[in-house]
Amino acid sequence: MKPSLKIVKIGGKLIENEALLNSFLDDFVQLNGPKILCHGGGNKATEVAGKLGNETKMVDGRRITDKDSMEVITMVYGGLLNKNIVAKLQAKGQNAIGLCGADGNVLISKRRPVKEIDYGFVGDVVKVNSDFIANLLSPGIVPVFSAISCTEEGVLLNTNGDSVASEIAIAMSKLYETRLYFCSEKKGVLKDISDENSVILKMDSEKYKELVEAKVVTDGMLPKLHNCFQAIDRGVKSVLLGDSGLLKKNSIHTKIVK
Ligand SMILES: Nc1ncnc2c1ncn2[C@@H]1O[C@H](COP(=O)(O)OP(=O)(O)O)[C@@H](O)[C@H]1O
Ligand SMILES: CC(=O)N[C@@H](CCC(=O)OP(=O)(O)O)C(=O)O
């Protein structure tokens, strides 16, 4: 039997709330066994870009990333957010190491081909260096991944944080029984975005298509759910979506089913 591995993704809205982040990290350090943390930070990047006079454009939940935005992304995701999360984990007694895709050659990507939309410096992961990650996990270190990948030519690319988490979970599934957790602002996928209590407890791909067509699922939830179904179809044992309390026992959440 394969050992178990938990991969947890936290989004930008959770990261920017100090109290929620601390409470989440307390739960995270309590998780037994090997674990990986992936983070986004889209709203911080938008805020910093705005201060520098750059307007942000998102299409279907993904950022159009020009050269200037990519500099902001590198500073905000790879620097500010990643290093602060690692520092907080150290303070809670959990040894951790912060990485972007170039570190350890861990997330190799290709630039998104230009179809109707040119996303600019945005990449899709084509290879995960799972052996390198396994080597970090074996002495009990928690790898903390920012939403940045790297091409074989050495170009850093902005990569949706949910895609990073799901690609890592898929790749690690050959060595571990993997469980993937998406912790975001909402308790899960909502039937009615204005009703926090309308959480859909179980979600299959048929329901997902229905909700996309009905425009109940929009914005960042589009790539998130796409990544959830990719993961569950490609070997990840379980995929859950919830808020900062997702790792607590008896949390209300959405479970992805085949
Ligand atoms: N049906 C839905 N249920 C829940 N959230 C939804 C739904 N449709 C759109 N969303 C939006 O998707 C967001 C989650 O995606 P995203 O902003 O990328 O999260 P994160 O940054 O935490 O990863 C929610 O905060 C919400 O605004
Ligand atoms: C290509 C692309 O869209 N990348 C995302 C990466 C950050 C992210 O995923 O942040 P959240 O988890 O906070 O949404 C972005 O720049 O917004």
pLDDT at 150 over 90: yes
11 lines ligand 1 (CB under 6 A): yes
**CB neighbour list of residue 125: distance below 8 Å, 6 or more residues apart:** 101, 107, 108, 109, 149, 159, 163, 164, 167
Nearest to 166 by CA among 150, 151, 178, 152: 178
Q: Determine the Cα–Cα distance for residues 141 and 111; give it in Å rounded to an integer.
A: 30
Q: Is 22 annotated as a binding residue?
A: no
Query: pLDDT tens, 23-57?
Result: 999 999 999 999 999 999 999 999 999 999 999 99
Q: Is 42 annotated as a binding residue?
A: yes
DSSP lists the bridge partners of residue 150 as 108, 156
Residues 109, 121: contact at Cβ < 8 Å? no
Residue 196's pLDDT is 94
Distance 237 CA to ligand 2 centre (A): 24
Residues 10, 52: contact at Cβ < 8 Å? no
Residue 193's pLDDT is 93
For residue 58, give the ligand nearest its CA: 2
pLDDT at 189 over 90: yes
For residue 43, give the ligand 1 atom closest to its CA. 21
Q: How far is CA 104 from CA 100, 170, 173, in A?
A: 9, 18, 19
Q: Is 101 annotated as a binding residue?
A: no
Task: Retrieve residue 116's tokens.
Answer: 């109707």
pLDDT at 60 over 90: no
For residue 182, give the ligand 1 atom closest to its CA. 23
Q: Is 41 annotated as a binding residue?
A: yes
Residues 33, 3: contact at Cβ < 8 Å? yes
- The stretch 133-140 carries a mean pLDDT of 97
Q: CATH number of the domain that 75 lies in? A: 3.40.1160.10
pLDDT at 139 over 90: yes
pLDDT-derived band at 239 (thresholds 50, 70, 90) equals very high
Distance 84 CA to ligand 2 centre (A): 17
- The stretch 58-70 carries a mean pLDDT of 93
Structural domain count of the chain = 1
Query: pLDDT tens, 91-131?
Result: 999 999 999 999 999 999 999 999 999 999 999 999 999 99
- Ligand 2 site residues (CB inside 6 A) read 11-12, 40-42, 45, 62-63, 73, 122, 147, 158-161, 220
Segments forming the whole domain that contains residue 97: 4-256
Residue 61's pLDDT is 82
In this prediction, what percent of the chain has a pLDDT beyond 90?
97
Neighbours of 110 (CB within 10 A): 14
